[in-house]
Structure 1
């Protein structure tokens, strides 16, 4: 059995990357072979070369290309023998689809195809919920400089709805992104772990909450993993 754990959140700054690193350590300590797919690696992993090139040249990507890249990624995971992939903001690509202006109907059809492609790696989403305003403020403090202006400007360039022009409208958009993500996941029966108030909790407490919810998958994986005999 191979499991893909996709970590998402209600906003930048909510703690996705920190949680991913903690989960990687926890699962590796349990004797599992773990691949950590960092957020920026969609631009560098060979399975996503066509996707990255399309974004660089046109700012968009054909949905069939995205599905094909995901199928290649799944095949590479299965061939690697990894027990778990911890993916920081990879699938199900909802922000990307919204940025390209796709409506819920198109996203729903895409998710049906994506769920079928991902079935061999038993996708689980861990969603860090919380207050977008607080999380954005935390991200701005962490990144320093003009990060918040850069982030708002990035969203403003995309065909998102509602459109983004300032911090307030960015928070309104993030609320929609959250709703579409959770609703789409629920309709496609993914395993879903939601950690409430992640922006308010200490990082070690967020990790413990995720560990408690993911323990059934850990038990299955360690019982069946070659590393456990």
Structure 2
């Protein structure tokens, strides 16, 4: 069975990329064939070339294009014979759709189609929850204050709802992004592992919590797992 582990979080800086790297190493060490899909690779993977071009030329992308690209990606994963895909902030594309003006009804319908496309790779989401303000501060401490200015400016340009003009309003918007993402995947039957207070945990503790819940899910796919 091929499994896609989609890693998302309440905010940039909450530890998604660090967790993805840790999971990829652990699973590879266990003898599994792992495809680590890094966040920036959506702009370079051939299956998403049309998506990247749409962003470059128009600054937006439609649900149909995302579905087509994902179907091509799933086909390539199955053909490659990998056991696990670790996807850093890829599917289910909810932030992308919110940023390009799509409402929740459209997103729900999109998730229904996306879930069907992803069925052959048995998607599970690991969601790193926590305080978005603290996570943004941590990201700014790592990347510099200019990163935070660019991030806020990007959200402001996309005219998301509620609108973003500063860090405080970005935190408010991220709360909506979190709520819509979790509701949409739950409604479509995705298994979701939520790591609470991830911004307060060490990377090793986050990795241990994710591994523990994922092992439980792989052993008993019908039962939910949640780490507090």
| Bin for the TM-score computed over the shorter chain | over 0.9
Matched with 2:197 is 197
Where in structure 1 do 4 or more consecutive aligned residues deviate above 6 Å?
none
Secondary structure at the aligned position of 2:162 is classed as coil
| 1:115 counterpart = 2:112 | no
**Conserved 8 A contact 1:98-1:159:** no
Deviations 1:122-156 (A, max 9, x none): 00000000000000000000001411111100100
Residues of 2 paired with 1:219 and 1:28: CA distance?
Answer: 19
Residue number in structure 1 paired with 2:57: 57
* 2:223 corresponding residue in structure 1: none
Cα distance per residue 1:142-199 (max 9 Å; x no partner):
0014111111001000031001001111000000000000011110010110000000
User: What count of residue pairs does the alignment treat as equivalent?
Assistant: 220
Indicate whether 1:127 and 2:103 are aligned. no
Partners of 1:133 and 1:171 within 8 A in 2: yes
Distance 1:176 1:217 in 2: 27
With normalisation by structure 1, the TM-score equals 0.94
Measure the CA separation in 2 of the matches of 1:189 and 1:218: 16
Q: Is the 8 A contact 1:27 1:218 kept in 2?
A: no
Q: Deviations over 1:68-114 (max 9, x none)?
A: 00000000000000000000000000100000011100000000000
Q: Which runs of 5+ in 1 are unaligned?
A: 221-229
Q: Distance in 2 between matches of 1:206 and 1:119?
A: 27
Partner of 2:27: 27
Q: Residues of 2 paired with 1:179 and 1:39: CA distance?
A: 21
Greater RCO, CA 8 A, separation 6+: 1
Q: Is the 8 A contact 1:34 1:83 kept in 2?
A: yes
1:42: how far off? 0.3
Alpha-carbon contact 1:127-1:192 (below 8 Å) kept: yes
Does residue 144 in structure 1 map to residue 144 in structure 2?
Answer: yes
1:1-229 → structure 2 map (5 Å cutoff): 1-216=1-216
How far did residue 217 of structure 1 move? 5.3
* Cα distance in 2, alignment partners of residues 143 and 29 from structure 1: 30
Quick check: 61-70 or 204-213, which moved more? 61-70
> How far has the Cα of 1:219 moved from its partner?
5.7
**Using a 3 Å threshold, how does the CA distance of structure 1 residues 186 and 219 change in structure 2: closer, same or farther?**
closer
